[in-house]
Amino acid sequence: LAKTTQPISMDSYEGQEVNITCSHNNIATNDYITWYQQFPSQGPRFIIQGYKTKVTNEVASLFIPADRKSSTLSLPRVSLSDTAVYYCLVGGNQGGKLIFGQGTELSVKP
């Protein structure tokens, strides 16, 4: 499983766009990039997954450059309720374990 590196914490204000970048230099050809969100005392929640280029859903966008050695989770117009820990995970095995790092603790202020 590829190792990931992401900032420990980020601060933002309501209404701003937040971009969290994750480095995964050793990503393998069949690896996907997946982001999870975790609120305090709750289980992680799947946000978005991608393989290359750009993926967008109702919650976020995921930008993956051509070399796939990094990815950026973009949260448009964050609100206070987006305060959470965001995890970047890399892997490709269906039914496989998730290996969580420390994640990025996002704090959204009014």
Q: Are 36 and 23 in contact (CB under 8 A)?
A: no
Helix H or strand E encompassing 75: strand 70-75
How many other CB atoms are there within 10 angstroms of residue 55's CB atom? 16
User: How many residues sit close enough to other proteins to count as binding (CB under 8 A)?
Assistant: 26
Residue 25 or 57: which CB sits closer to other proteins?
57
Interface with other proteins (CB under 8 A), residue from 16, 21, 23, 49:
49
Q: Which of 9, 79, 93, 107 binds other proteins (CB under 8 A)?
A: 93
Distance of CA 102 to the CA centre of its chain: 12
Query: Is there binding between residue 5 and other proteins (CB under 8 A)?
Result: no
Contact call for residue 46 and other proteins (CB under 8 A) = yes
CB of 74 to other proteins, least distance (A): 19
CA distances from 27 to 14, 22, 24, 30, 47 (A): 33, 12, 6, 8, 20
| Shortest Å, Cβ 16 to other proteins | 27
